[in-house]
Chain A
Amino acid sequence: MTLQILLAISAALFALGLAAVLSRSNAVMILIGIELMLGAANLNFIAFWRFSDNPADLTGILFAIFSIAVAAAEAAVGLAIIILAHRNLRSVEADDASQLKG
């Protein structure tokens, strides 16, 4: 078990999230991809904390806790926007939201 393995797992998870964001047109799927990428970032924080020379600092732990809180806020706002778009456009496809006026 080395740091490389954890970083490679995290990179693979981030790439999967990016693939979901770029290749799907449904707004809910784009949010799912963003959640996967946030999880990959948190995995990196925890991995670097676990392998750090001074784990008693808790830097990676605290970063991960704040990152999870911000991810929860992001999910709430993103899904409210999706519900609003569905009410106005009758669609959750990202391609349909092509105008700046509501």
Chain B
Amino acid sequence: MMCDPLQSLFDDPVKFLAPWFVLVPALVLLASAAAAAVMRNLIHAALCLTLSFIALGIVFIALGAEFVGLVQLLVSVGAVAMVIVFAILLTRPDQLEQSRTALAGLRPAGGAAAAFALLATLLGFIFASPLAGKPLPAAAAAPVAKIGEALMGDHVVALIVTGVLLTAALVGAAVLAMEDRP
């Protein structure tokens, strides 16, 4: 009776349901990403992208990387998605894309074919790999204190370079988007 799914559900509900904490948000992630890729309306696409960011953060948290999941939620949902929405509002593009070059009509079919070819190649390698069938290790924890020690210890140079990069990128973005008028 140990193999009975219902029995294992009652024995240890958290262990039985654990894969679904990852799989359900992962399915939401794929569905909203697909919707973001095909939506004609830019605002709808940006909102679907926001939903996929939230689902990705939940996948990270369910996999045990709580800090990265929360950073993903704060940075991607709070900053990147908002900046994209603001750019859509500021540029007010005509909602529908128009074909302007001779080959533009082939673009959706070509893009889908290239993406499908890449997906088939990747899946072939993933399912052929001996590494990939590895079972889930017991538990992997990433305590915030350990992450902080690693960032301020071994990886402090990378941290400082990232800070310089962020500063330069944001100053550069402000200079680029600034009006020329005095």
Q: Could you list which residues of chain A lie within 8 angstroms of chain B, going by C-beta atoms?
A: 1-9, 11-26, 28-29, 31-33, 35-36, 39, 42-43, 46-47, 49-53, 55-56, 58, 60-62, 64-66, 68-77, 79-84, 86, 91-93, 95-96
Contact = CB atoms under 8 A, between A and B. Distances in A.
Interface of B: 18-19, 22-23, 26, 29-30, 33-34, 36-37, 42, 45-46, 49, 52-53, 56, 59-60, 63-65, 67-68, 71-72, 75-76, 79-80, 83-84, 86-88, 90-91, 93, 97-101, 104, 107-112, 114-116, 118-119, 122-123, 126-127, 129, 131-137, 140-142, 146-147, 150-151, 155, 158, 162, 165-166, 169-170, 172-174, 176-177
A11 B127 CA distance: 12
A23 B60 contact: no
A45 to B, nearest CB: 8
B118 A28 contact: no
Contact of B97 (A55, A79, A93): A93
17 contacts: A3-B131, A4-B126, A4-B133, A9-B29, A11-B126, A15-B116, A17-B37, A20-B111, A24-B37, A25-B100, A36-B36, A43-B60, A50-B64, A58-B146, A64-B65, A79-B87, A96-B100
A25 B107 contact: yes
Contacts of B80: 35, 71-72, 75
Contacts of A77: 169, 172-173, 176
B72 A28 contact: no
Contact of B63 (A50, A53, A79, A91): A50
Nearest to A33: B37
Given A24-B97, A69-B162, A70-B162, A79 B83 contact: yes
Contacts of A96: 100
A34 to B, nearest CB: 10
B115 A19 contact: yes
Nearest to A81: B176
A68 B75 contact: yes
Contacts of B45: 29, 32
Given A50-B136, A68-B76, A23 B170 contact: no
A31 B131 CA distance: 33
A65 B49 CA distance: 20
B111 A19 contact: yes
Given A11-B119, A19-B115, A81-B176, A50 B65 contact: yes
Contacts of B112: 19, 23
B33 A26 contact: no
A71 B111 CA distance: 23
